[in-house]
Structure 1
Amino acid sequence: MFNQLLEFKNTKLLVQALTNKIHEMEYLQKTGQPYQYGNNEDFTIGGQQLLEFYFYDYMLLQGFPNQQSQFKKPSDIIQLRQKLINDKYLSEIAILLNIQNLLNVGNQKSLKNNPKVLSDCIKSIIGAHYYDKQNDLETLRDIIHPIVVQLLNKGEQITKTQWKYNPKSSFLEYLNSYKGELNINPKLTIEWKKDDSILNQNKSLYLISLELNNTMKIQKIGVNKRETEQNVYLEALLQLRKYHIKNYQKQNKLTNKKKEIQEKQCESDLSTSLDSTINNQDLSIYCFSEKTLDQSKISFDQQFNHILEQLANE
């Protein structure tokens, strides 16, 4: 199915596509002369672009996007492409072709089993075919479409929710939705490093850090740059939500406390105002003794009339 990938008219291009940059550097150090075939770095970049183009090309030829399928708009195809064109799936194709036995990696033999190195090699072979086939895009389509079919077969294991979900987009949307409430200024840092600690495999890794503020920072290490970055944003989204909820509860608590203090202040002000009003008024208190009026012998009306008479005479 993939044998066409290794069929070259110009075998020098194939050798270059199978040569890692480390091999070229070691050759120069040992002989003092440049390696005549070069390395596959430039081919890898071109191969990535061609693979993405022909992935979309294949989907268009199959009649996508359309409203009757799960791919209703172009962005759906792009999201699926981003999910499928990765080091894991491409390295599996490389292993089917025994690319690991053809790779030139100098003394770094462990790189022959590195998913990223194998994936880059598939891309570099695609890029080299562009020149080997004299820029013939139709011939190139026949070579690349079987790879696309293989990737889509892998994609059948991924649910629609999984391939459409983008943690980075969700993180940015959440951040923009509560921009005025959150004191967050994310800063992403990507470092490339080697790990010699695991069985001396000399793996190439990405260390990706996302700093949200002075107290929150997420770091993850992985072989695949995009997957590692998405995992960082997924973790950041979870932490951001917790931070937002905690901040909201704290703010709500402060608001209630402030309201309570204001209510107490209002009560105090009202009490002071009433006291002041009472103290500033000239109030007379009337006392009626038994000598003045025998209340037990007269009716209530008589008592009341007598009080009125007293008030009138004062």
Structure 2
Amino acid sequence: MEVAQSNKIFKNWQGYRIVCIGKLEKQINYKFKNIALLEEAITHSSFQKNKLKIDKKNYERLEFLGDRVLGLVLSEYLLKIFPEAKEGVLDNYFQKFANQDNLFNYAKKINLSKFLKTQKGDNLENNKSILSDVVESIIGAIYIDTGLKNCKSFITNNLIDKDFIYSKPEKHPKSILQEYCLHQYNTLPKYSILNKSGNEHQPIYEVSVYVKNHDVVSATGANLKKAEEAAATKLLNIIKI
């Protein structure tokens, strides 16, 4: 009884489990409680299951779930990072990180094709469609295994290019500062109204902003939003972002 895995042939099922599954868990930096979920997530429909007398499941059902989980996590992340961005801007970022190319690039990075359970002789190394789907199936497997929290960690650490987010000009100063705080300290900036002066038609707001490990910074503006943006800009200049 042989199990095909990339260019290697394992003489028995147990050998496959010990060698390949353990290596893949290290690659994705996640240890499964239920290893059968990961096995299902990397099983292609061509795999000759009848000969091996094992479960006939393949990655497709978990891919269905993982696609939805990926969408939820990305949407929530982008809403937090860009609190003032319009729907069109959010959608551009979403498509950047949820598209097939991004998932395929991650699959290539971890050599995912080498871990797929396929029919002997199959080579899926450059199959963008299948490899991107399997990444989503792994997300679905993690969700069933331990829930949404670990899915968020997997997605934000592996599928979101934070340098790309930092480099985009669409962001407001508050968005940049918020992303910095979440990335560095896992907290949000704290804004406080210090003073409101002027008349009813031309008020002047003074606002402070506090970020962990930095001094409090204040600034003024013609309305609350502008005052907060001015304070965020001032602090970003101090932090040199």
Aligned CA distance change for structure 1 residues 4 and 112 (closer, same or farther; 3 Å) = closer
TM-superposed CA distance for 1:103, in Å, is 0.6
Does the 8 Å contact 1:47/1:125 carry over to 2?
Answer: yes
Following superposition of structure 1 onto structure 2, how do residues 268-279 of structure 1 map, counting pairs within 5 Å? Answer: none
Q: Which residue is equivalent to 2:118? A: 105
Structure 2 gap segments, 5+ residues each: 1-25, 171-241
Match of 2:221 in 1: none
Deviations 1:83-120 (CA, angstroms, capped at 9, x unpaired): 43222221111122121110112135222321111111
1:210-249 correspondence runs (5 A): none
What secondary structure is seen at the aligned counterpart in 2 of 1:39? coil
Name the counterpart of 2:61: 42
Q: Is the 8 A contact 2:78 2:90 kept in 1?
A: yes
Q: Which amino acid in structure 2 is aligned with residue 49 of structure 1?
A: R
SS at match of 2:91: helix
**Matched residues in 2 for 1:102 and 1:58: separation?**
30
The alignment's TM-score, normalised by the length of structure 2, stands at: 0.52
Residue in 2 aligned with 1:121? Answer: 134
1:73 aligns to what? Answer: 86
1:6–1:14 Cα contact (<8 Å) kept: no
Aligned partner letter, 2:43 = T
Shift of 1:61: 2.6
Question: Paired residue for 1:85?
Answer: 98
5+ residue gaps, structure 1, are 67-71, 161-314
- CA shift, 1:154, in A, is 5.6
Structure 2 distance, partners of 1:114, 1:41, is 15
In structure 2, the CA distance between the partners of 1:109 and 1:78, relative to structure 1 (3 Å rule), is: same
TM-score after normalising by structure 1: 0.41
1:49 aligns to what SS in structure 2?
helix
- The answer to whether 1:13 aligns with 2:37 is yes
Give the Cα–Cα distance (whole angstroms) in 2 for the partners of residues 55 and 80 of structure 1: 9
CA offsets per residue over residues 62-92 of structure 1, 9 Å max, x none? 2x141xxxxx213321233124322222111
Distance 2:129 2:30 in 1: 19
Aligned counterpart in structure 2 of residue 60 of structure 1, from 56, 79, 85: 79
Equivalent-residue separation in structure 2 for 1:124 and 1:3 (angstroms): 15
**Alpha-carbon separation, structure 2, partners of 1:85 and 1:7:** 24
Q: Does 1:142 align with 2:153?
A: yes
What CA RMSD, in Å, does the superposition of the two structures yield over aligned residues?
2.8
Distance 2:120 2:27 in 1: 28
SS of 1:149's equivalent?
Answer: coil
The residue type paired with residue 47 of structure 1 is: G
| Cα 1:114–1:6 shift into 2, 3 Å | farther
Q: Cα deviation per residue 1:13-62 (whole Å; 9 max; x = unaligned)?
A: 11110101121xx333xx3x864151010111111111111111112232
Change (3 A) 1:95 1:156: farther
Alignment of 1:178-257 (within 5 A): none
- Structure-1 separation of matches of 2:155 and 2:28: 9
Distance in 1 separating the partners of 2:168 and 2:77: 19
Whole-Å Cα distance in 1 between the matches of residues 80 and 121 of structure 2? Answer: 42
Per the alignment, do residues 96 and 61 of structure 1 end up closer, same or farther by CA in structure 2, a change over 3 Å counting?
Answer: same
Pair 52,102 (structure 1): closer, same or farther in 2 beyond 3 Å: same
Report which structure shows greater RCO (CA 8 Å, sep ≥6): 2
Runs of 4+ in 1 over 3 A off after TM superposition: 2-6, 152-160
2:49 is aligned, of 27, 39, 45, to 27
Checking the alignment, whether the CA contact within 8 Å between 1:44 and 1:121 is kept in structure 2 is: yes
Deviation (angstroms), 1:7:
2.2
Q: Distance in 2 between matches of 1:146 and 1:118?
A: 19
Structure 2 residue identity aligned to 1:145:
T
Percent identical pairs in the alignment equals 26
Structure 2 counterpart of 1:137, which letter?
L
